[in-house]
Amino acid sequence: MHGPVMVSWLLAALAAGSAGFGLHRLRAGRGVCASASWDSDAAEALMGIGMAGMVLRPGIVWGWLSALLALALLIGALAPGAPRAHRLHHAIGALAMAYMGLAPAGHHGSMGLPAVTGALLGYFGGYTLWTGSRLLSVPGGRATVAAAAAAGAADLSRACRTAMGVGMFAMLLTM
């Protein structure tokens, strides 16, 4: 990432925190949503670790590791009964990280292809707005304590995904 040092450290902390939450959910055995399996939590944890690593120590190694993760997620999305949308989103994130890690230098020191970068910026910008708007919606009616706790965990998962989308957007902007 080619931005101010303070922004880089804050972004790395955000990604590491999201990765930590994904690892916590993975250890606790809770999925991101009712239809998702444990691999969604693992993918989110790996994406957070990869983002933090790319921000603090950019290099081609992170690009190749992200490419392998993207390949695994794309193959997993083809499995019957798999939560395809969730895996495809993670695969797009991993492909974006591979793109950032492996992109050749362009004109005037910029990296990557403007059309690809623009498409990824559009995707992550739209995804962040969509997940952020879902955080603002408040379900009506009364809720039990257990339902409120479950809703709180789901909101925290959405907040982590929103934060990761903002982080990916920021990384693409400073590429």
Average pLDDT of the residues in 2-7: 75
pTM, 2 dp: 0.77
**Which tokens in the block code for residue 113?**
């292809």
Distance (Å, rounded) from C-alpha 11 to C-alpha 173? 13
Three-class SS state of 111: strand
**Which tokens in the block code for residue 158?**
């959405």
Q: Supply the mean pLDDT for the chain.
A: 78
**Which tokens in the block code for residue 30?**
């809770």
pLDDT band at 81 (very low <50, low <70, confident <90, very high): confident
Distance (Å, rounded) from C-alpha 130 to C-alpha 26? 25
Give residue 125's pLDDT: 95
Distance (Å, rounded) from C-alpha 79 to C-alpha 90? 15
Q: Are 90 and 123 in contact (CB under 8 A)?
A: no
Give residue 147's pLDDT: 46
Continuous H helices in the chain: 5-28, 38-56, 60-77, 84-102, 114-136, 145-173
Average pLDDT of the residues in 58-84: 84
